Amino acid sequence: MLKKLSLCILLLSTSVVAQDKAMIGPTAVMSVADTQLSYEARMDTGAVNTSLHAFDLEVEGGSASNMKDNIGKTLHFTTENGSGERQRLSAPIVKTSTVSNSQGRETRYMVNLDIGFHGAERSVMVNLRDRSHMDYKLLIGRNWLKGKYIVDVSEKKLIGPVATISILETGLMFKTRIDTGAVENSLHAVDLKVEAGVDDMEKNVGKMLTFMTENEKGVAHKVKARIVETSLIRNAQGSEIRYMVELNIGEPGSEYKVKVNLRDRSRMSYKLLIGRNWLQGHYLVDVDR
């Protein structure tokens, strides 16, 4: 009886959430009102802010050496969608945003732009960066999604943008970023050693690999797993090849086997990132949770 009551409460709460917020898929065709351009946009619950491809940035009246000193000035920039259509835009700089990644820290200008579905755009702060190496020229972050949408990479249970996730093979719990912008899961791994390994990473597929991982509390564990494939990861800095292994990952008590790529995330806040290959078919992501 108690199980049935709990299930009814869960279904009711999910229904209420669905009534309050619209559902949106992992990608959508959106427009930037001032450009009349259409973009295939990626919904990215791993990103705080929305990000637009921009280049040839020019601060009117000249740029100060300190980017923050340019706040309030007019910024001219060119944007381009996935079809190669371009337009020159101008907007006041409202703030700067510093983004940390594995390559270090990067400061970007932020402007207010009207972004959304054609005819229903709404103003949101957008950071501007060169996304020429990225598949999606417009990335929709939590500041656009919040309070309005649930991101559905398929269907099923709700999960927030951050969750406590277990990896059975490590015996560790990780405070984890749930990132619909990432195709794959990614785990912090250092001291990778392949048994009878060779320089050609592809030729090491099928061999056993040992590595050290560590959660955000600094608790470390040595893991041994078989390399199931390699993954080519592209980002703004170029591309890199990573080993992939299969691990049992999930909310405590609900772990299931899934592929995860291994990389040094020592400079990242989250040592485990959950991507769409774990979410798909299992979870909805609600950035308000």
- Which CATH number does the domain 18-152 belong to among 3.40.50.11540, 3.40.140.10, 2.40.70.10, 3.40.50.300? 2.40.70.10
Q: Give tens-digit pLDDT for 147-170.
A: 999 998 765 688 999 999 999 999
Beta carbons of 258 and 246 less than 8 angstroms apart:
yes
Q: Where are the domains of the chain?
A: 18-152, 157-285
Query: Cα–Cα distance between 97 and 134 in angstroms, integer?
Result: 19
Rounded Cα distance, 5 and 14, in Å? 14
pLDDT of res. 6: 44
The class (CATH top level) of 157-285 is mainly beta
Instruction: Give pLDDT, residue 143.
Output: 96
Report the pLDDT averaged over residues 30-39: 90
The pLDDT tens digits for 45-97 are 999 999 999 999 999 999 999 999 999 999 999 999 999 999 999 999 999 99
Query: What was the pLDDT predicted at 69?
Result: 95
CB-CB contact of 26 with 154 (8 Å): no
| Same fold flag, 18-152 and 157-285 | yes
Confidence at residue 7, expressed as pLDDT on a 0 to 100 scale: 42
Given a cut of 60, whether residue 280 has pLDDT beyond it is: yes
Confidence of residue 236 (pLDDT cuts 50, 70, 90): low
At 247, which amino acid appears?
L
Cα(101)–Cα(284) distance, integer angstroms: 25
Q: Is the pLDDT of residue 30 over 60?
A: yes
The CA distance from 36 to 177, in Å, is: 33
DSSP-H helix ranges across 58-168: 142-145
Query: To which residue do tokens 């009207």 refer?
Result: 114
